[in-house]
Structure formats: structure tokens, C-alpha cells
Chains A and B, each alone.
Chain A
């Protein structure tokens, strides 16, 4: 099962250096990665406005540059308990437009060799497999990669309806 992030990374490999920049995000104790090429901006300390009756994956609305963005709650997607207090938002660009991704906090940006990427193992749980692209093998840990295309609220909405 190939995916777009991996495909994009591989294409990059051929053209230039084999290095990929990844923004790390923290969620509880876990660390996830998001390719920096898909991030428009990181908004810190946001308090999204809840939307009553919205699908469960919607963390709320956030104001971004005069536009109102729908924020996807990563916690909700991964079936984690909600977090009180301000959260960080990654403003991501997908084919369906811009949206926000609510995470506990945003960490440092890592540069890793693209060759260290491995797709999802076949044993991964179905629901997670829909959100996770694969992982980069870091020296002492795995950086689980998120796929912006798969986190797009429009796509998630369709998936939920189905």
C-alpha cells in the first residue's frame, strides 16, 4: 500500500538530497511526524470554538487569516480522551483546501534521510492504518508519520458517513 507522502518523499529523493524535514508533534506521550512541506503555519495556544452536533473528529473552528478553518482533533481520531486547555494547531493544506490539525503541542523539526521510511506494517489496526502513512526509523525510536490527505475533514466526513 503505497501512499502519497511516501511517494512524494521518494520523488524528492531522486531530484535532490535524500533528506526530509519532519515536524514532530506530541500527543499524550506519543510522538508523531508531519512532513513540513504540507504545513502552512503553526498556530500556538489556540482555543478552538466547538461546533455542536459536528462529527466527532471535528475539534472545532479556528480563526486563521480572516478565514474560518475546521480543525480536526487528532486525539478524537486516535480515540484518546480530550485535553483541556490550549492546544497547538497545524494549518495544513490538502487537495480539499486548508484545515487545522489539533495536537497537544508541536515539537522540533527533524531532518531525516528519506531512505529510512518504512510503510505501515500489515499488523497495524485498521482504524490507525487509515490515518498513518508509515514511520521513519530514528536512532532510538520510530517517528510515526501522519498523512495530511487522509486527515482532511472532507475525507473524514465521507468516511464517517459511509
Chain B
């Protein structure tokens, strides 16, 4: 294909895209001469160039379209729904020929006779009228005010641009057929939208200041800029000593940053590129589904990386289809429900931090949560108990599960669900998220969260086997630091499987260093700091143990060679700010390789049951130390931990007490902490204030160590003050018997030998 043809194809496609936009606009504003002029220009350009290039079929088709458009432009004919439909068919016809040319460099030998005949027929007003009458029954009344006989003043394009469109709407005579199908006047917001659109009317000057650039060239520029950034970093490091060079390198720094931003910007395109396809889809669907729909679009100027824009096109189309098909009810149903028979579909785009939010909302029937819940239980996606506990909003997200999409019953009753898992998958593939919100009878909102650029993702840089790795933040839910002393107790083992107790639940651990160097000796002791990164990868929850954490960084993802993809643990590589390379870890691949299975709803339910059963045996304890011995205080009974000077401790007989908020608080000093500091009013002591029945008691301790979950051990012997002992952090620890302390208050004079209750048996 020669350069000229290729150029023609690109230009024509752009022209046709613009024509499509204008046609749907024209339907709303049939007397906008500027729009007509623009459409005419698109078709005319195609006709002119095709004649020159020798595409006869295309020329003939464009010619008949041009004739019809010419009549419209001169005001000999008024815009009507059948004419718009005819012109849209013309558009499709032109497009399909262009496609054929693109593929085989030839026009193909299809016949356009029927289409041309249709276009010719439309030129005669009576014919058009007849057709209109015939189609009127099924076309929406919004289109019914396009009266063919109604004289439309042939305004010159320029005048129309400056004319107040709102005024046009108001001065338009009421449609004669109004009684049969009530035409609603455009609501104020729609008029406003019209105004803004008319103001932004097609300006050819924009085309002159822009340039078409190949995307691959932009990608290459992006890579080179990345390279420049790294070189700059190295220059900055190398020249930091020389004051003259510092100035120069700082300038280099600034220019590079600007350049990088500009190149990134060059890849950005407004979402209007995708939104602009929607009016046509909505129009066609509304007609075929017999719905009346008003489309509102906001935030079209929001920009998004080109590759992402391409990626959201399908999910968005799907969402719009869903809204029309299952969301917005037929006009009679809407009227019966006391709603405007014309439904509203809103497309909204906005930027929120490093994400772009795209919302598709309708004011249709919404999704009945009860139905979703019932279906989910029926399909075994969720247990009944769990379903009862989950908030409605979370239940709604279930419709994204693959099991739901094919369930015809749900689609019919709840109103939505076809291929929602496809929407979710597509959006998640590009690192985005999908949420749904719905209220029965009020409508549904689907929210897509898309990252600004595909190539750059936030990641946490972790260290293991003396190397840096990037861990995508998306999968990371929390981080736990384990000091070498803690490592022996916090990381527990069932045979060879390491586990960590995260809020009472056992979490499988994966040691990154062992995973990466299987040959290394399996030495379980960890003599250095470790960090557990709790990851949630596609429902697989596990802790990844790494040696260190570095800063979080926005990383540029680079693909790996095929030879390395086979390893399966890495999703790519990246160049860090320091110039070092880091492999990007793939959490779900690691989970799979380590054999972490998906927590199904059933399992989760079972474990939560076990948890409830466990609650009686398990309690949280405050681990305290008194004079070198550890003891446990039930956490539920602890009111506060007070640090105070010895001077506040007073004595009633031999019993130490403190005046605590006007109450006499007996202090238990079985650990001998107070006795050790006696006579030194400056010394600080820690008193744990606990509740015992209606009374409060204090326990003097040296330190408060930690909060831990313990299992009670009934077998242990009891003394006067121990209710029992508990297994705390794998150590059998004595529990302070608060009742025993409080009893003593009644008998302050009683002298008691303290028996070592709060003793840690190591």
C-alpha cells in the first residue's frame, strides 16, 4: 500500500469517527447547521480523495450520501430519525469499504445498490415522511420532534456556532404527535451540555497544530528518557563534589524531569476518544431494546495512557450495554414506577490521585441484593451464615464472580450479570479495580479505577539473598517486623511448614530466600531481622518472609526474556532509582509455587467457626515483667497502664495503695517492684490498673512487654493467686488472679506470703 492510500485511510477514518459523533449530536439538535456542515465535509473529503485514488465503489457511495447531506444543508430537507439512520448506514458502508481497502488494497466487489437506493429515497421528502410514519411507532419520542415538514432555517455555519443552542430548543414548536408519545423538553443540564458542546464546536485549527506520531516511536522515546534519567542519576552522583558541575548537573536534572513528563504526556489521550463511541452504541441499543435513554457524559477531557484507553474500551462498552439491557427499564415500566420514562445513562471520568475513575451509572431498576445472596448461596459461592453477615455492598461484588455471569436466572431476576467477570478481568489485567453499587429501583453505578499509566506501578522494594526485589503494592496488605529474638517464637512450625499467627489465625509463610535458593541448607533459625509481607494474591493469602525493606518506589515494568519467563516467579524486571536492576516478584506465582492454596469460602467459613470455638479457650493477655519474672494479665480486665513516681504510692498498714481518680486502689506488689524502690520517691513505677468485678486493683510491674494470645492450661497447679497458667508465646506463663488481689483489700492487715504465681516457666 502506498503512502498516499495509507494517509487517506487514516484521514478518512478520523473523518468518519467525527461524522459518527456529529450524527448522534445532530439527532438532538437537528437544526445545528454547523454539525451538518461538518458531516458534509467528512463525506465530501472522502468522495474527493477517492475519485483521485480511483476507488470507484467508495466514490459512488460517498456521492449519494453527499447529495442527501447537501439537501439537508441547504434546508430543502429536515433532519429526521430515518435520515439519521440512513446516514449511519452510509457511515457503516463507508467504513466497511475502508476496512477492505486496508486489508487487501482493493475495494472488494460487494454491492452498495441497496444502500444507495435508500439514500436516494431519503432525498425525497414524502418518501422520508412515509418511512418516518412507518418507523415512528418504534422510534423513541425524543426523536419525534424532528418534523420533516417543519421548516428549518438554513443558517450559515458560522452563525449557528454563535447562536445560543438553548434558545433553539425552546423556540422549537411542540411536536404535533405529542399526545401519543410525550416529548420531554431537554432538561436544564442537557441544555447546558449542549451549550458547552456547541461552544467547543469543530475547530479545524486544532488539526493544523497537531501531528500524528507512531506509538512505537513514542514507546521508544519513553525508553530513551528512562535511560536518560538513569544516566542523569549517575552524573549527579559523580559530580556532587565539583561545585561547577553541580550547577550543570542540576540543570540536567531539571531538563530531564521535564522531558520525561512531556513524553509521558504525549502518550496520554482524553477519554473522549472512547466516550465518543458511546452515543452511537446507546442510540442503536436503545432502538433495538425499545428503551428511551438520555446519555450524559462528563469529564471527557480526563487523560489516560493510550494503551490503557484501548484496554478499557471493551469493558466500558460492555458496561454500557449492560446498563441498557438490564439496568434501564422499558418506558412503560418506568412510568409505572413513577420515573421519567426516559432513562439516564451517565458516563463520568475523573482523575483521583494516580488513578482515573470511570463511572457508568444508570437510574434503572438496580440489583436486588436478596436475589444475589440467594443465588450465591445456591451456587455454593458463599455460606448462608457468612452471607447474612456481609454488608450489602460486599454482596453486590459477588456478581463479578465467574459463576454468576452464566447464570441466566440471576440475569433475569436481579437484572445484571452477563459477563461482569469479563469486565473485571479486563480491568484487573491493567491493574485497575471494579466496584459496583446498586439500589433497587434507583439504579446502578459501576466504577472502574484505572491507573494513570500501565508501565509504572507502585511497588515495595524488598531485599533477600543480597538482592533487591520489587513487590507490587497491589497485593500487599500489611508488613510485620520480626526481630531475631522474636523469630524463634513468632514463626511456628508444623513439621517443615512455617506459620505465623496473624491475629489468632495461622498464616502460611514462604521464605523468599529459600524459595530462590533451594540448594541452600535448610536452617530454620533466623539470626537476623526479618519482615513478613502479608500478601493477598487472587485469594491466596500468605506471608512472604524477606530480609529487609527499602523504600516504596514507582517502578517502570520491563518485560523479561522468554528464557526467564519459564522460572515463573517474576513478572518482569525494573531499573531502580539507584540504577540497580530488580526483579519484580509475582505474588500469585509464588503462592502457587509454594503450594499456598486458595482460601475458598467454605474453608474460610470453617476456620471462622473454629475461631469462634476457640474464643473460649483463647484470650488476650498483657504480658508483664516484675522483677525478672513474666506474668500475664487478662487484657480484657486491663483499664489503663500508669507510670508514676514512688511518691504517689501510699501505705495502709503494709498494703500499698494509690489514690486513683478519687478511689482507693490497692496495689499488688507480689513481684516486689515497690519494695525494691521504697525510700526513693523519685523512682518511677508502672502500675497496671485492672478491673475485678466492681472494684479496681493495681499491679506493680517493672515493664509491660507485649500483648499476646494465650491458651489456658487447666492442668497446671493453682495456688492462692493463680487462677491458672496460660500458654503465651509458647511459654507457660502464670496468670495473675485479680480476684485474689482484691480479696486482700478487705483484709489489709492480713499478711501474706507471696507465692511465685506470676512466674514464667521457660
Contact = CB atoms under 8 A, between A and B. Distances in A.
Contact of A70 (B230, B467, B564, B569): B564
B152 to A, nearest CB: 57
Interface stretch (A17-25, A36-44, A46-54, A128-136): A46-54
Nearest to B512: A52
Contact of A54 (B567, B574, B582): B567
Nearest to B465: A52
B465 A51 contact: no
Contacts of A153: 561-564
Residue in A51, A69, A156, A157 whose Cβ sees the most chain B Cβ within 10 Å: A51
B427 interface: no
B556 to A, nearest CB: 8
A68 interface: yes
Interface in B371-404: none
Contacts of B567: 51, 53-54
Interface stretch (B174-182, B220-228, B272-280, B317-325): B220-228
B564 A49 contact: no
Interface string B568-589: 0110111100011111000000
Given A51-B583, A53-B516, A65 B563 contact: no
Interface in B511-528: 516-518
A65 B224 CA distance: 6
Given A49-B467, A52-B517, A66 B223 contact: yes
A154 interface: yes
Interface string A119-162: 00000000000000000000000000000000001101100010
Contacts of B572: 68
Nearest to A49: B581
Contacts of A55: 563, 566
Given A49-B467, A49-B580, A53-B567, A68 B562 contact: no
A50 B573 CA distance: 12
A38 B670 CA distance: 83
Contacts of B575: 63, 66, 68
B563 A157 contact: yes
B563 A62 contact: no
A58 B558 contact: no
A96 interface: yes
A152 B563 CA distance: 9
A51 B227 contact: no
A100 B14 CA distance: 43
A117 interface: no
B560 interface: yes
Contact of B560 (A66, A70, A96): A70
Contacts of A99: 561
Given A63-B579, A65-B223, A66-B227, A53 B562 contact: no
A52 B561 contact: no
Given A52-B516, A53-B516, A62-B581, A67 B558 contact: yes
A157 B566 contact: yes
11 contacts: A50-B467, A51-B564, A53-B516, A53-B569, A54-B567, A63-B575, A67-B558, A68-B574, A70-B561, A70-B564, A154-B563
A68 B560 contact: yes
Contact of A161 (B223, B226, B559, B566): B566
Residue in B225, B465, B564, B582 whose Cβ sees the most chain A Cβ within 10 Å: B564
Interface of A: 49-55, 58, 61-63, 65-70, 96-97, 99, 153-154, 156-157, 161
Contact of A96 (B518, B562, B573, B581): B562
Contacts of B225: 66
A49 B575 CA distance: 11
Contacts of A68: 558-560, 572-575, 581
Interface in B337-378: none
A66 B224 contact: yes
Interface string B201-235: 00000000000000000000011111100100000
A53 B579 CA distance: 23
B250 to A, nearest CB: 23
A38 B558 CA distance: 24
A67 B219 CA distance: 11
A76 B583 CA distance: 21
B465 to A, nearest CB: 6
A23 to B, nearest CB: 23
A51 B560 CA distance: 11
Contacts of A70: 560-561, 563-564
Nearest to A50: B467
Q: 5 closest A-B pairs (Cβ-Cβ)?
A: A52-B516, A66-B223, A157-B563, A153-B563, A70-B561
Contacts of A157: 562-563, 566
B476 to A, nearest CB: 20
Nearest to B557: A68
A63 B558 CA distance: 10
Given A51-B570, A52-B467, A154-B562, 14 more contacts: A49-B467, A49-B580, A53-B518, A53-B569, A54-B567, A58-B564, A61-B581, A63-B575, A66-B230, A68-B574, A68-B575, A153-B561, A154-B563, A157-B566
A63 B563 contact: no
Contacts of A97: 561
A157 to B, nearest CB: 4
Contacts of A49: 467, 573, 580-583
A67 B223 contact: yes
A28 to B, nearest CB: 25
Nearest to B224: A66
Interface in B481-522: 516-518
Interface string B537-560: 000000000000000000000111
Nearest to B558: A68
Contacts of B465: 52
A41 to B, nearest CB: 12
Nearest to A70: B561
A49 B569 CA distance: 16
A99 B579 CA distance: 19
B495 to A, nearest CB: 24
Nearest to A153: B563
A59 B351 CA distance: 43
Nearest to B464: A52
A129 to B, nearest CB: 21
Nearest to A61: B581
Nearest to A65: B227
Contact of B226 (A50, A52, A58, A66): A66
Nearest to A57: B563
Interface in B577-608: 579-583
Given A50-B467, A68-B573, A154 B579 contact: no
Contacts of B561: 69-70, 97, 99, 153-154
A65 B566 CA distance: 24
Contacts of A65: 223-224, 227
Nearest to B569: A53
B547 to A, nearest CB: 13
Contacts of B574: 68
Contacts of B570: 51
A50 B572 CA distance: 14
Contacts of A69: 561
Contacts of B573: 49, 61, 68
A90 to B, nearest CB: 16
A133 B53 CA distance: 52
Residue in B558, B562, B579 whose Cβ sees the most chain A Cβ within 10 Å: B562
B594 to A, nearest CB: 13
Interface in B267-315: none
Nearest to A47: B580
Nearest to B226: A66
A54 B564 contact: yes
B691 to A, nearest CB: 54
Contacts of A51: 564, 567, 570, 583
Contacts of B560: 68, 70
